[in-house]
Structure 1
Amino acid sequence: MFKVAVIGASGLLGRALVDELAQQTGWRVVGTAFSRPSAHTVSLDIRDAQAVEQFVEREAPDALVIAAAERRPDVCEHDPALARALNVDAVRTLATAASRRGAWTLSISTDYVFDGTHPPYRHDAVPAPLNAYGRSKLDGERALAETTDLGCVLRLPLLYGPIVSWSESAVTSLVPAIAASASSNGKAAVMDAWAIRYPTFTPDVALVIRQMLERHARNETIRGIVQWSGDEPMTKYEIAVRIAEALRLDAHLTPQSTPADATPRPHNCYLASSQLEALGIGRRTPFDTAIRQVLAAFAWRGDTPV
Structure 2
Amino acid sequence: MNLGIERYETILITGANGLLGHKLVQLLIHREHVLVIATGLGESRLPASYAKYYQWESMDISSEEQVNSVFEKHRPTTVIHAAAITQADVCEENKEKAYIVNVLGTKNLIQAAERFGCYFLYLSTDFVFDGENGPYIEEDQPNPVNYYGRTKWEGEQLLKQSNLSWAIVRTVLVYGVAEGLSRSNIILWVRESLMAGKTIQVVTDQMRTPTLVEDLADACLLMVMKKSVGIFHVSGAEVLTPFQMAEMTADYFGLDKRLLQPVNASTFTQSAKRPPKTGFIIQKVQNELNFEPKSFTSGIGILAKQLKLADS
Whether TM-score is above 0.5 comes out as yes
Who is 1:145 aligned against? 160
Q: Give the CA deviation at 1:273.
A: 2.1
In the alignment, the residues of structure 1 paired with residue 77 and residue 249 of structure 2 have an alpha-carbon distance, to the nearest angstrom, of 40
The 8 Å contact of residues 115 and 267 in structure 1, kept in 2 or not, is answered as yes
Within the alignment, does 1:172 sit opposite 2:183 as a pair?
A: no
1:30 to 22, 34, 37: 37
Residue by residue, what CA displacement relative to the aligned partner does 1:36-85 show, whole Å, maximum 9, x if unpaired? 52474321111111000111111111100001111101101101111111
Matched AA of 2:193: A
In the alignment, the residues of structure 2 paired with residue 227 and residue 133 of structure 1 have an alpha-carbon distance, to the nearest angstrom, of 18
1:131 to 135, 141, 146: 146
The 8 Å contact of residues 82 and 123 in structure 2, kept in 1 or not, is answered as yes
Residue by residue, what CA displacement relative to the aligned partner does 1:8-38 show, whole Å, maximum 9, x if unpaired? 1111111111111122222221111215524
Q: Give the CA deviation at 1:233.
A: 1.6
Within the alignment, does 1:200 sit opposite 2:211 as a pair?
A: yes
Which contiguous aligned blocks of 4+ residues in structure 1 show a shift greater than 4 angstroms? none
SS in 2 for 1:100: helix
Q: Give the CA deviation at 1:172.
A: 2.9
Matched AA of 2:23: A
SS in 2 for 1:207: helix
Who is 1:276 aligned against? 285
Aligned length: 292
> Residues 211 and 90 from structure 1, CA distance in 2 versus in 1: closer, same or farther, beyond 3 angstroms?
same
In the alignment, the residues of structure 2 paired with residue 300 and residue 214 of structure 1 have an alpha-carbon distance, to the nearest angstrom, of 30
2:239 to 233, 236, 258: 233
In the alignment, the residues of structure 2 paired with residue 149 and residue 13 of structure 1 have an alpha-carbon distance, to the nearest angstrom, of 23
Matched AA of 2:167: C
> Residues 77 and 170 from structure 1, CA distance in 2 versus in 1: closer, same or farther, beyond 3 angstroms?
farther
> Residues 244 and 200 from structure 1, CA distance in 2 versus in 1: closer, same or farther, beyond 3 angstroms?
same
- Trace 1:100-119 onto structure 2 (pairs within 5 A): 100-119=115-134
The 8 Å contact of residues 117 and 164 in structure 2, kept in 1 or not, is answered as no
In the alignment, the residues of structure 2 paired with residue 32 and residue 198 of structure 1 have an alpha-carbon distance, to the nearest angstrom, of 29
Matched AA of 2:300: I
> Residues 279 and 72 from structure 1, CA distance in 2 versus in 1: closer, same or farther, beyond 3 angstroms?
same
Q: Give the CA deviation at 1:242.
A: 1.8
Q: Give the CA deviation at 1:105.
A: 0.9
In the alignment, the residues of structure 2 paired with residue 17 and residue 125 of structure 1 have an alpha-carbon distance, to the nearest angstrom, of 28
> Residues 243 and 36 from structure 1, CA distance in 2 versus in 1: closer, same or farther, beyond 3 angstroms?
farther
Task: Using structure 2 for the length normalisation, give the TM-score.
Answer: 0.87
Percent of pairs with identical residues: 27
In the alignment, the residues of structure 1 paired with residue 63 and residue 176 of structure 2 have an alpha-carbon distance, to the nearest angstrom, of 29
The 8 Å contact of residues 99 and 150 in structure 1, kept in 2 or not, is answered as no
In the alignment, the residues of structure 2 paired with residue 168 and residue 46 of structure 1 have an alpha-carbon distance, to the nearest angstrom, of 25
CA RMSD of aligned residues (A): 2.2
Who is 2:273 aligned against? 264
Q: Give the CA deviation at 1:281.
A: 3.5
Residue by residue, what CA displacement relative to the aligned partner does 1:96-125 show, whole Å, maximum 9, x if unpaired? 101110111111000010011112322121
- Trace 1:12-51 onto structure 2 (pairs within 5 A): 12-34=19-41, 37-38=44-45, 40=51, 41-51=56-66
The 8 Å contact of residues 197 and 270 in structure 1, kept in 2 or not, is answered as yes
Who is 2:250 aligned against? 244
Who is 1:63 aligned against? 78
Task: Using structure 1 for the length normalisation, give the TM-score.
Answer: 0.88
Who is 2:10 aligned against? 3
Q: Give the CA deviation at 1:170.
A: 4.5
The 8 Å contact of residues 62 and 101 in structure 2, kept in 1 or not, is answered as yes
- Give the stretch that moved more between structures: 130-139 or 274-283: 274-283
In the alignment, the residues of structure 1 paired with residue 110 and residue 169 of structure 2 have an alpha-carbon distance, to the nearest angstrom, of 14
> Residues 51 and 158 from structure 1, CA distance in 2 versus in 1: closer, same or farther, beyond 3 angstroms?
same
Q: Give the CA deviation at 1:87.
A: 1.2
> Residues 36 and 230 from structure 1, CA distance in 2 versus in 1: closer, same or farther, beyond 3 angstroms?
farther
SS in 2 for 1:259: helix
5+ unaligned residues in a row in structure 2: which ranges? 1-7
